């Protein structure tokens, strides 16, 4: 991709990231992100037009209207979303999968919002997860049509169903360890990973479980959680999926080499 195209993707990420802050704030409260103009999360004053990240830096983390301090998380969400968008554009361009870029940008934005919400309120809202099924299905179908690769779409549907079934079985057998919000998210994760390949699905699913286990053990070891403490698993699923998108190939090749299959 050209530098101009990447700059435009990054700018789009900043804009989407600003909207995600609204989503993160309102959706857990049962409010529509589109129902009214944005307001300062600290004092409730109407947000003045401008570039959010720049405004936050210029005003030293304070609201322009009321002067109340604004959490650093808000610009981090915007910058993090922009960085993810640029990295995904570079990665999919290298893989020859630019037709699927809209689907992966949507998944990244969804993942940022769900991760923060899950950390905040320990749940993955159906208002975000369930509509994402038809959205991602349409975006991936468009990519399949554009690239003439309908097998990739069939593979994505199969992978999404497989990971959904796996998580459903785990949640059914051990409901205390996994919520059904994670089960619903698993279908989306499985679809976007298997669009690339079955090894990407395997690496992404394992990476999510591994990250969750490592953090869980660390929290118990440091006394910040007990064996029965509920730890949000959605962020680990999202992180594992993104790690697989960027690095599944070398991991899969390494494992195949261990088995003598390389």
Could you read off the pLDDT of 79-115 as tens digits, one per residue? 999 999 999 999 999 999 999 999 999 999 999 999 9
77/173 same-domain check: no
Residue 115 belongs to some domain of the structure:
no
Question: What pLDDT is stored for residue 49 in this prediction?
Answer: 47
Domain count, the chain: 2
- The b-or-e profile of 222-261 (16+ CB within 10 A means b, else e) is eeebeeeeebbbbbbbbbbbbbbbeebeebbeeeeeeeee
Enter the tokens of residue 57: 């830096």
Question: What pLDDT is stored for residue 56 in this prediction?
Answer: 55
Residue 187 has pLDDT above 90, yes or no: yes
Task: Say whether 62 sits in a helix, a strand or coil.
Answer: strand
Residue 101 belongs to some domain of the structure:
no
Residue 253 pLDDT level (bands cut at 50, 70, 90):
low
Q: What is the mean pLDDT of residues 144-157?
A: 95
C-alpha span between 33 and 23 (Å, rounded): 5
Lowest model confidence (mean pLDDT) among 38-42, 109-113, 121-125, 242-246: 38-42
Q: What is the mean pLDDT of residues 229-243?
A: 90
Nearest to 104 by CA among 206, 16, 233: 16
Mean pLDDT score across all residues of the chain: 85
Residue 111 belongs to some domain of the structure:
no
176/237 same-domain check: yes
Nearest to 163 by CA among 121, 230, 208, 129: 208
Residue 80 belongs to some domain of the structure:
yes
Burial level of 139, CB count in 10 A (0-12/13-18/19+)?
A: buried
Residue 167 has pLDDT above 50, yes or no: yes
68/132 same-domain check: no
Neighbours of 103 (CB within 10 A): 24
10/136 same-domain check: no
89/131 same-domain check: no
Residue 189 pLDDT level (bands cut at 50, 70, 90):
very high
162/75 same-domain check: no
64/150 same-domain check: no
The domain containing residue 155 runs over which residues?
125-262
C-alpha span between 43 and 218 (Å, rounded): 36
Lowest model confidence (mean pLDDT) among 28-32, 144-148, 228-232: 228-232
**Contacts of residue 174, Cβ cutoff 8 Å, sequence gap at least 6:** none
C-alpha span between 66 and 147 (Å, rounded): 51
Question: What pLDDT is stored for residue 51 in this prediction?
Answer: 54
137/256 same-domain check: yes
| Last residue in a domain, options 56, 76, 95 | 95
Q: What is the mean pLDDT of residues 227-235?
A: 80
CA dihedral (189, 192, 193, 194) positive or negative: positive
Where residue 38 falls (left for φ over 0; alpha for ψ -120 to 50; beta otherwise) is beta
Question: What pLDDT is stored for residue 31 in this prediction?
Answer: 86
Q: Looking up tokens 């660390």, which residue turns up?
A: 218
Enter the tokens of residue 248: 């599944």
Residue 109 belongs to some domain of the structure:
no
Enter the tokens of residue 251: 């991991």
76/190 same-domain check: no
Nearest to 94 by CA among 254, 249, 262: 249
Residue 104 belongs to some domain of the structure:
no
Residue 261 has pLDDT above 60, yes or no: no
222/156 same-domain check: yes
Residue 118 belongs to some domain of the structure:
no
Residue 114 belongs to some domain of the structure:
no
Residue 77 has pLDDT above 70, yes or no: yes
61/158 same-domain check: no
Residue 241 has pLDDT above 50, yes or no: yes
Question: What pLDDT is stored for residue 222 in this prediction?
Answer: 80
Enter the tokens of residue 121: 């309120």
Counting residues of the chain whose pLDDT is more than 70, the rounded percentage is 80
Nearest to 105 by CA among 235, 187, 17, 203: 17
| pLDDT 10s digits, 20-74 | 998 998 999 888 887 766 655 555 555 554 556 665 555 555 555 555 656 678 8
| Last residue in a domain, options 57, 78, 95 | 95
Residue 137 has pLDDT above 60, yes or no: yes
135/88 same-domain check: no
């Amino acid at each position: 991709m050209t530098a101009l195209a990447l700059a435009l993707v990054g700018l789009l990420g900043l804009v989407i990231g600003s909207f995600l802050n609204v989503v993160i704030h309102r959706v857990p409260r049962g409010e529509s992100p589109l129902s009214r103009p944005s307001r300062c999360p600290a004092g409730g004053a109407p947000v003045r037009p401008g570039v959010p990240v720049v405004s936050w830096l210029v005003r030293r983390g304070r609201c322009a209207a009321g002067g109340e301090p604004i959490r650093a998380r808000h610009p981090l969400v915007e910058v993090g979303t922009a960085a993810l968008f640029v990295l995904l554009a570079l990665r999919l361009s290298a893989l020859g999968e630019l037709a699927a870029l809209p689907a992966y940008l949507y998944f990244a934005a969804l993942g940022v919002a769900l991760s923060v919400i899950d950390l905040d309120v320990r749940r993955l809202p159906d208002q975000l997860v369930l509509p994402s099924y038809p959205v991602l299905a349409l975006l991936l179908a468009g990519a399949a049509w554009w690239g003439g690769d309908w097998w990739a779409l069939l593979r994505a549907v199969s992978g999404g169903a497989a990971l959904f079934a796996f998580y459903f079985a785990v949640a059914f057998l051990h409901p205390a360890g996994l919520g059904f919000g994670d089960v619903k998210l698993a279908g989306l994760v499985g679809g976007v990973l298997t669009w690339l390949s079955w090894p990407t699905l395997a690496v992404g699913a394992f990476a999510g479980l591994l990250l969750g286990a490592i953090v869980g053990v660390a929290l118990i070891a440091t006394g910040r959680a007990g064996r029965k403490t509920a730890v949000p698993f959605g962020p680990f699923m999202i992180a594992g999926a993104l790690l697989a998108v960027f690095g599944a190939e070398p991991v899969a090749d390494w494992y195949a080499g261990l088995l003598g299959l390389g």
